[in-house]
Amino acid sequence: MSDEGHTTLSYAQLRTLALADPSATATVVDALRFLHENAFHPEAEETGNWWHWEIGTPRILLDICVLLRAHIPDADLKDYLAAVRWFCPDPDRQVKTGPWSPLTETGANRADKALIVALSGLLAGDADRVALARDGLSPLFEYATSGDGFYEDGSLIQHDTVAYTGSYGVVLLTSVAEVLALLRGSPWEVSDPGVSVVFDAVEKSFLPFLFEGRMMDTVRGRAIARQHSRDRDIGAATLDAIRLLAESAPSSYAERWRALQRPTGFHVFGAMDRVVHHRPRWSAALSLSSERIARYECGNGENLHGWYTGDGMLYIYDLDDPDHYTDEFWPTVDPYRLPGTTVDTRLREDVGRGSGRGTGAVMAPNRVAGGTVFEGGFGTAELDLHGEGSTLRAHKRWHFLDDAVVALGTDISASDGRRIETIVENRNLHVDAGRRFVVDGVVQEPELGVERRHLGVQWAHLEGVGGYVFPGGTDLISLREERTGTWHAIDVGVSTEGDEVEVRRVFHTLWLDHGVSPRRAGYMYVLLPGASEEGTARRAAQL
């Protein structure tokens, strides 16, 4: 961890101590003085990751100051607020290159800084600073047409090109909710009518990406690689933010939010190349990319194996197994074989490991990526795939129906002398190595580590997951294997307890082999989430 990261972590540990043990108050007060003298003060040079200096440390320090206000000497508090003001003078700009940097803050970072400025202003009794915080929120209350922010179609983008509803978006929602609650009923209460953009975002931007309280990974960017930031945790944070926001929202919003049930229907988020399909017992989410939206984001040592997450990865969520992605999925899944993708089997290198600090988005050159909503709550999506670092080209399409997802691929071509594959499934079976798998009515031996090629397959079924139908028949390859990995292998940015501990999970993978340097190859298969073995066989007979 970097020095500035250690400083933020030290303050975080003090906050935990202050919350957990009132008898440790004197120790915390002394430690605050030590950190101010040796790490976080106006004369300190802002090195490394600016976030720790301008958001991470100031926010945590202010939390402690609020908690222990009666115990912190006035002179110490004045010093701490001076440091906060130096590194976060207002919500509008970043000071990394100097106090008058022209870089304007947007999205979650702006909301975080507004909260920091509001807290520091209240602690200092500085009315002008509190008003600055309030007014700093207003740019967030306008729909974006490019770059960061909320879009009218429900998209939320951060870092210009990354679909980030489930990471930066949750931070934005939380910080806005906290500022609204903090200033409600005061002379600085937020009265900008544009705040309705945030209220509307609850149903337009956030709820469509929740499944059984879990935030879908399709909109979590590089945060999928963080051991202590899993879909269930972020889902809980989202719901907490909505509950807090309801206290400041008009009653019409708050009453509707309390009565909301799990949504159904097909949703297109065209500005960020995402689609979501909800059915009563399962949901699907599709990650696309284009010249507008990144394939994946890496950097700060995070998301080292995110290569194919934006190339048509199809997430299937099922009520019978809501923890499929929560349960050690990312450190153990084969990152070369993400479901829904068509890939060049070239060897990849870790991204971001040696790139230093900061983040970077890997873009694609294609223009076609998106979806269309049909009457009845169904829809379609498509992607013109250009393989990264490859001559691979393919046109991919998905149809989202009442009980199925139909996947089609055409014009699959490449000329690099490598094998091209389309991944039908890569399911986390947790530790159940004996899960029943059937191909055309024949039960397959559940032997681990054995790759099998099944010829002319019409249908297959995986117990506890669902069915797969291949109209006209196809050659299907299956592999059940125990995979091992560590969180540290995909995130070296922050060292946390247990991140180098090896974890093991059993995966069942299905894929189609298009051969070496295929020319105009194709595929068609039907996913039947939650279907029975008998129902899958009947469906195959109908096609």
Query: For this structure, is 267 an active site residue?
Result: no
- The pLDDT of residue 356 is 44
Residue 273 makes CB contacts below 8 A (sequence gap 6+) with 163, 287, 288, 289, 290, 292, 293, 310, 369, 370
Strands (E), 401-490: 405-413, 419-428, 437-439, 442-443, 450-462, 466-485
List residues bridging with 143 in a β-sheet. none
CA distances from 337 to 332, 374, 396, 446 (A): 12, 30, 16, 20
SS3 302: strand
* pLDDT average per 10 residues of sequence, the chain (543 residues): 85 96 96 97 92 96 97 98 97 73 85 98 97 97 97 97 98 98 97 98 98 97 96 97 97 91 92 98 98 94 95 97 97 98 96 60 96 95 97 98 98 98 98 97 96 98 98 98 97 78 97 98 98 98 93
Task: Give residue for tokens 């479901």.
Answer: 339
Please provide the distance, in angstroms rounded to a whole number, between the alpha carbons at the two ends of the chain.
Answer: 55
Active site residue 49: no
Identify whether 159 is a catalytic site residue.
Answer: yes
Can you list the positions of beta strands (E) in 40-199?
149-150, 156-158, 162-163
Buried/exposed code over 353-386 (b: 16+ C-beta within 10 A; e: otherwise): eeeebebbbbbbebeebbbeeeeebebbbbbbbb
For residue 526, the model assigns a pLDDT of 98
Contact 33, 76 (CB under 8 A): yes
Parallel, antiparallel, or unpaired for β 419-428 and 503-516? antiparallel
What is the spatial distance between Cα 503 and Cα 227, in angstroms, rounded to a whole number?
Answer: 12
Query: Residue 355: its pLDDT value, please?
Result: 44
- For the full predicted model, state whether its pTM sits above 0.75: yes
CA geometry: angle at 296 spanning 295 and 301, to 5°? 155
Length of the chain measured in residues: 543
Q: Are 283 and 405 in contact (CB under 8 A)?
A: no
Residue of 164, 168, 296, 525 marked active site: 168
Cβ neighbours of 520 (radius 10 Å): 10
Is residue 239 within 8 Å of 203, Cβ to Cβ? no
Asked if residue 231 lies in contact with residue 317, where contact means CB atoms within 8 angstroms, the answer is no
Place of tokens 């001076």: 82
Q: What's the confidence (pLDDT) of residue 97?
A: 62
Active-site position among 49, 109, 300, 303: 109
**Phi then psi for 423, rounded to 5 degrees?**
-95, 115
Choose the catalytic residue: 52, 159, 386, 508: 159
Cβ count near 436 (within 10 Å): 13
Of residues 335, 510, 314, 515, the one with CA closest to residue 414: 515
Q: What is the pLDDT of residue 494?
A: 67
Q: According to the model, what pLDDT value does residue 354 have?
A: 47
